[in-house]
Amino acid sequence: MDFDYKKMKLGKHGLPTWDAMVAVLIYLTADGKEYSGKKLRKMAADSIGLPDELRNATYDSSYMDNMIEDRAGWGLSESYTAGIFDRPRRGIYVITKLGKSLLEDSDSIDVTLIHNLPKYQEHKKELKERNERSNISSNDKVPESFEDISENISTTVTSYNNQVASDLLSRIQASDPRFFENLVVKLLVAMGYRGPNGNSKVTQSTNDGGIDGVINQDALGTNTIYIQAKRYNSDNVVQRPMIDAFFGSLSRIHADRGVFITTSSFSKNAIETAKGFSIVLIDGIQLTELMLQYHVGIQVKNSFELFEIDEDFFEN
């Protein structure tokens, strides 16, 4: 049987869903031979005619897991739970009589059929008991795959953190200008711009010559970053003349690099001018995003671990 991914049930990213991959897995193992889980995942992914960009697509996570192999792996795991496959020994799969019987009508194989098989129903009873012990309501929807779980968590956390960043910007805009100058220097230090032997300082509030902060990246000051910080309300957009003035301040001290940070935003002309002067601009939104990224002015409220089975542990 030839499988064409375009004719299969497709999910996110234009790839077949995990339950669509089950028919592929059953067909590949119909000879009754034993296969390692790792080999089966790759065989299934390679047998549905995916173009390279889809075959090699990975999740945006620290593990960079291959998407289609992950879905094949999820299908293999769910099928094993449902009794379609057996595991005679660690990491090895073989099709069961139930699995072979499904070959006759492989088009009917989907999540509903798999989850209604007797062995899977037994699994659901165990899962229900585990959830009850963990105080999870049976009415709570449990995502069907790692991809769904990961994206749900990512979306929720990002939405919450965006609100924190917005509140953070309001707090900064209501603060003292001197506080803001200290804040931006601390942020750039947290980002690693002060080297191990460097130093940083906020300039005196009077006669600073348009320079609010200085970061020396080494002990001799041969690499120096000059900072201008403007604590403005969101409607007070930084215009081109302020960029010109900052460049003038840099030129007077023969500086070749500057960072202009504001709690508001920059006009189009200001942005174009800064590019010509090699001045880095950071607006209010980027400022607070960086503060969250480098943990400046915030603290971690909670963290969670999302587990998955280490297939290599069971296959090696």
Q: Which two tokens stand for residue 5?
A: 């991914």
* Structural tokens at position 43: 């065989």
Residue tagged 């200085």 (tokens): 214
The pLDDT, as a whole number, for residue 206 is 58
Q: What's the gap between Cα 10 and its chain centre?
A: 23
Among 282, 206, 276, 204, smallest CA distance to 238 is for 282
Q: Which of 44, 126, 43, 36 is nearest to 88 (CA)?
A: 36
Question: Alpha-carbon Rg of the chain, whole angstroms?
Answer: 28
Instruction: Give the C-alpha separation, 225 to 188, whole Å.
Output: 10
Is the separation of the CB atoms in 243 and 271 below 8 Å? no
Task: Record the tokens describing residue 175, joined without a space.
Answer: 């603060």
Q: Output the CA torsion sign for 49, 52, 54, 60.
A: positive
Tokens found for residue 195: 């080297």
DSSP labels, 86-105: EEEETTEEEE-HHHHHGGGG
Q: Work out whether the CA dihedral 238, 240, 242, 243 comes out positive or negative.
A: positive
What pLDDT, on a 0 to 100 scale, did the predictor assign at position 312? 76
pLDDT of residue 228: 95
pLDDT at 63: 61
Burial class (CB in 10 A: 0-12, 13-18, 19+), 95: buried
Counting every residue written for the chain, the total comes to: 316
Task: For each of the domains in the chain, give its residue range(s) and CATH number, in order of start.
Answer: 5-142 (1.10.10), 168-293 (3.40.1350.10)
Are 50 and 68 spatial neighbours (Cβ–Cβ below 8 Å)? yes
Query: 């915030």: which residue's tokens?
Result: 298
Is the pTM higher than 0.95? The answer reads no
Residue carrying the six token digits 């970053």: 225
Amino acid at 184: V
| pLDDT value at residue 65 | 84
234 contacts 192 by C-beta, under 8 angstroms: no
Q: Which residues sit opposite 10 in a β-bridge?
A: 16
Largest Cα–Cα separation, the chain: 86
Q: What is the pLDDT along the chain (316 residues), one digit of tens a residue?
A: 679 999 999 998 999 999 999 999 999 999 999 999 999 999 999 999 999 999 999 987 656 789 999 999 999 999 999 999 999 988 899 999 999 999 888 788 999 999 999 999 998 887 777 777 777 665 555 555 667 777 778 778 888 888 899 989 999 999 999 999 999 999 999 998 887 777 888 887 655 567 988 998 877 767 889 999 999 998 999 999 999 999 999 999 888 889 999 999 999 999 999 999 989 999 999 999 999 999 999 999 888 888 877 877 877 6
End-to-end CA distance of the chain: 31
Where helices occur in the chain by DSSP H, the ranges are 20-28, 37-46, 52-55, 67-82, 97-101, 111-116, 118-133, 146-173, 177-190, 240-252, 268-277, 284-293, 311-315
- Determine phi and psi for 10, rounding to 5 degrees: -105, 145
